[in-house]
Structure 1
Amino acid sequence: MRPARALIDLQALRHNYQVAKQLSADKALAVVKADAYGHGAVACAKALVDLADGFAVACLEEALELRMAGIAQPIVLLEGFFSADELALIEANDLWCVVHAEWQLAIIEQAHLTRPLTVWLKMDSGMHRVGFFAHEYRAAWQRLQDSNNVASIVLMSHFARADELDCTSTDEQYQLFQDASAGIDAPISICNSPALVAWPHIRSDWSRPGIILYGSQPVPGSEQQFLPVMSLQSKIIAVRELPLGEAIGYGAQCVTSRATRVGIVAMGYADGYPRHAPTGTPVSVEGCRTQLLGRVSMDMLAVDLTDLPHADVGSAVELWGQSVSIDEVAACAGTISYQLLCNVKRVVREYSPY
């Protein structure tokens, strides 16, 4: 069997949720959308089932997967519903639903439900993806408040730049949200991962930790300790001894500057490793840090074994995890850890006990 695999440390996931919960003013939704950021939504939800106040997913399909797996906690649909016929399943499965647009609000008002819904009403405070503008927000809340199809309402918004500590945008968004919702007696949800970590004066009744659950640090230099949950691993499958001046890989992007011992790893962009990671991106071989050489191929990549004489065919390789931070790899590849984790596929996932 091909040796590429993703080891998922569920005890680390539990630790990270507990840290996020400590940072939260009250309750914390564990965000497990996009298959728990590539970690496996069902396995991660089951690992958190005795800790989490609830879960958040993007859409109905993701929520139904959790319900079918026996997850009974509250589940919030962060994108709400996409058509009126989804309301029956939302009601039947006791799901909580974000409402971010007038057309969704109108569908709820006109629906024939046997029991009312819990609605999370989203305000666009500056992200400008979805949500009611500040001048529309109170009227939207009042319409939901007046509807017999709504049992309770949570007020929510989302920060666009909470990972930028030198930017005033987060405080401006928070103030706009406070002004628009002033006087409304309802719980609020506004803190995402970077807001929890870096903006301690901003707290909400329901926080929404996402990337920090999986061990990535959304704000550089933070003192909070989040443990890596995924270790992306493989093995050396071939070794090449190359003299000075030899090109490695597609496009001859890397040319040896000395006699070089090259290890070929069973891992590529088809597994989710970033194709644009450049020469020099850190890699760990048998616990020793070395570097990527040349372009990443679909199924293989090359690493420098010149200073690792003990490494050979069969040696263990970690692409990110305990020895190499996923944030380092993401920075080298010009992307973010979210994308790397969500892109992992084809590799076997193996879960540690918790």
Structure 2
Amino acid sequence: MSLPANPAPSLHLHIDEEALGRNWKRLDTLSGTARAGAAIKANAYGLGAERVAPILHRCGVEDFFIAHWSEASTLLDHIAPRNISVLHGPRNTEEAAFARSVGLRPVINSLEQAHLWLNAGAGPCDVMVDTGINRLGLDLSEVNDPVLRKLDVQLVLSHLACADEDHPLNLIQLEKAHNAFAAISSAGKSLASSAGIALGPDYHFDVTRPGLALYGGVPRSEMAEAIEQVAFPQAAVIAIRQVDAGASIGYNATFTAPRPMRTAVISLGYADGFLRLWAKAGCFQFENKILPLLGKISMDMAVVDCSAAPDISEGDWVTLAYGLPEASAATGLSQYELLTILGQRLHD
């Protein structure tokens, strides 16, 4: 017995594909003589790498960056493996052999990884140098090691720790990057991600690696006018209720109706990344009308005041106000977290 198809979902993540493309083109322009790549790790920051990557590829992106080897499988139908850099590099012989057989570019983060890659047969790769963030990357004392001269290095990279603020470490890392980049023979050099682009031409080198700003995040105020919102979480109204004055709404009775109210139950909750931090700051929109949240957010539901939208009814769709800079200020969550916590049900 074959089962019928699932009914249409009551959640959706609308992606403004044109805004995504425009964001990349502006970031590419802001990168000056450097070309802008695209960080699509963490499922394109939660928006869906399989959907986002082809859009960016059509726009002209040549360099794509992921973190885990497992992230490559959804991309290979859209992007040539030689254009995909895996930031975590090969941990063992199995990962090195996988990269070699598929044609992916591992980012070499240590001398041990360099030996792993050479023993696997090598091929084009990137090299990461740590200039002050103290995460992954070669130590500056290692950049003249002879093993690195045996590698076919496409990009030598580093990563800024404080690019989203005017911090003295930026200039320190820039100077260290110049020294490290001069020591390693490579086809190109890369230091700046989204925020680093706004620091100016000295930080751009050959390739920039925007991530957050592609998807509507604004890491520095100078970029606010250039970046458009891309992600719009949407949910269906699953119930309309009349609530009496004095009645409470939701868990722990944290909201009491000051008057008779017309409310709507929305099919979105903290299991979808809509955390309880939103309770006092969030709202939905329906036909340009604002629907404030009432009470605590539940696992799969939230309740809003729909007094301003008398025409709203069950089955209608509402959009969560999710401009990333404003949402970050309202919730205390970083713009990165706001994107990457969006739940799988929004992608159905």
The normalised TM-score by structure 1 is 0.86
Residue pair 2:289, 2:308 contacting (<8 A) in 1 also: no
Identity of aligned residues (%): 29
- How big is the alpha-carbon RMSD for the aligned residues of Structure 1 and Structure 2? 2.3
Q: Which has the higher contact order (CA 8 A, sep 6+)?
A: 1
- Asked if the contact 2:90–2:116 (Cα under 8 Å) also holds between the matched residues in 1, the reply is no
Q: Tell me, yes or no, if the aligned pair for 2:264 and 2:306 is still in contact at 8 Å.
A: yes
Aligned pair 1:28/2:36, yes or no?
yes
- Distance across 1 between alignment mates of 2:240 and 2:200: 48
**Paired residue secondary structure (1:139):** coil
Given that 2:129 and 2:140 are in contact with CA atoms closer than 8 Å, whether structure 1 keeps it comes out as: yes
Shift of 1:95: 1.4
- Counterpart amino acid of 1:105? A
Secondary structure of 1:225's counterpart equals coil
Code of the residue aligned with 1:6 in structure 2: it is L
For 2:137, which of 111, 131, 136 is the aligned residue? 131
Residue 9 (structure 1) aligned to one of 3, 7, 16: 16
Q: Deviations over 1:199-244 (max 9, x none)?
A: 4542121111111111221224534422222221112222333344
CA distance in structure 1 between the aligned counterparts of 2:54 and 2:220, rounded to whole angstroms = 28
- Does 1:121 pair with 2:127? yes
* SS, match of residue 76 in structure 1: strand
Distance 1:86 1:79 in 2: 10
Counterpart residue number, 2:55: 47
Distance of 2:292 and 2:168 partners within structure 1: 38
CA–CA separation in structure 1 for the residues paired with 2:307 and 2:159: 48
Q: Is the 8 A contact 1:274 1:340 kept in 2?
A: no
Could you say which residue in structure 1 is the equivalent of 2:327? 329
Tell me: CA distance 1:81–1:183, structure 2 relative to 1, closer, same or farther (3 Å): closer
- Report the counterpart of residue 347 of structure 1 in structure 2: 345
Q: Supply the distance in 2 between the matched residues of 1:242 and 1:194 (Cα, whole angstroms).
A: 47
The answer (yes or no) to whether the contact 2:96–2:116 under 8 Å persists in 1 is: no
Instruction: Report how far residue 184 of structure 1 moved.
Output: 4.7
For 1:236 and 1:198, how far apart are their aligned partners in 2?
44
What corresponds to 2:4 in structure 1? Answer: none
CA-CA distance at 1:297 after TM superposition = 0.8
Classify 1:330/1:283 alpha carbon distance in 2 versus 1 (closer, same or farther; 3 Å).
Answer: farther
The answer (yes or no) to whether the contact 1:291–1:304 under 8 Å persists in 2 is yes
Residue 178 (structure 1) aligned with residue 184 (structure 2): no
SS at match of 2:277: coil
- How many angstroms apart in 2 are the aligned matches of 1:104 and 1:347? 37
In structure 2, the residue matched to 1:144 is: 148
In structure 2, what is the equivalent of residue 266 of structure 1? Answer: 267
CA 1:253/1:81 → structure 2, altered by over 3 Å: closer, same or farther?
farther
Distance 1:342 1:241, change over 3 A: same
What per-residue deviation string (whole Å, max 9, x for no partner) do you get for residues 63-98 of structure 1? 23312x142161100111221122222122221111
* Alpha-carbon distance between aligned partners in 1 of 2:340 and 2:97, rounded to the nearest angstrom: 30
Structure 1: segments with no counterpart, 5+ residues: none
